[in-house]
Chains A and B, each alone.
Chain A
Amino acid sequence: ILNVEQSPQSLHVQEGDSTNFTCSFPSSNFYALHWYRWETAKSPEALFVMTLNGDEKKKGQISATLNTKEGYSYLYIKGSQPEDSATYLCAFTGGTSYGKLTFGQGTILTVHP
Chain B
Amino acid sequence: DVKVTQSSRYLVKRTGEKVFLECVQDMDHENMFWYRQDPGLGLRLIYFSYDVKMKEKGDIPEGYSVSREKKERFSLILESASTNQTSMYLCASSVGGEGNQPQHFGDGTRLSIL
Contact = CB atoms under 8 A, between A and B. Distances in A.
B13 interface: no
B48 A34 contact: no
Contacts of B50: 98-99
Interface size class of A (residues with CB under 8 A): 20 to 34
9 contacts: A32-B100, A44-B92, A46-B102, A46-B103, A49-B101, A93-B99, A98-B31, A99-B99, A102-B59
Interface in B73-107: 90, 92, 94-107
A62 B31 CA distance: 28
Contacts, number: 84
Given A105-B42, A106-B42, A44 B97 contact: no
The interface centre, meaning the residue of A36, A49, A95, A103 with most chain B CB atoms within 10 A of its CB, is A103
Contacts of B4: 43
B99 A97 contact: yes
A96 interface: yes
A98 B42 contact: no
A46 B101 CA distance: 10
Contact of B31 (A36, A43, A99): A99
Nearest to B100: A32
Interface residues of B, number: 32
B90 A43 contact: yes
Given A43-B90, A43-B108, A98-B50, A89 B43 contact: yes
A59 interface: no
Contacts of A44: 43, 90, 92, 103, 105
Contact of A49 (B43, B44, B48, B102): B102
Contacts of A94: 99
Contacts of B108: 43
A100 interface: yes
Nearest to B45: A100
A27 B90 CA distance: 28
A31 interface: yes
Contacts of A1: 59
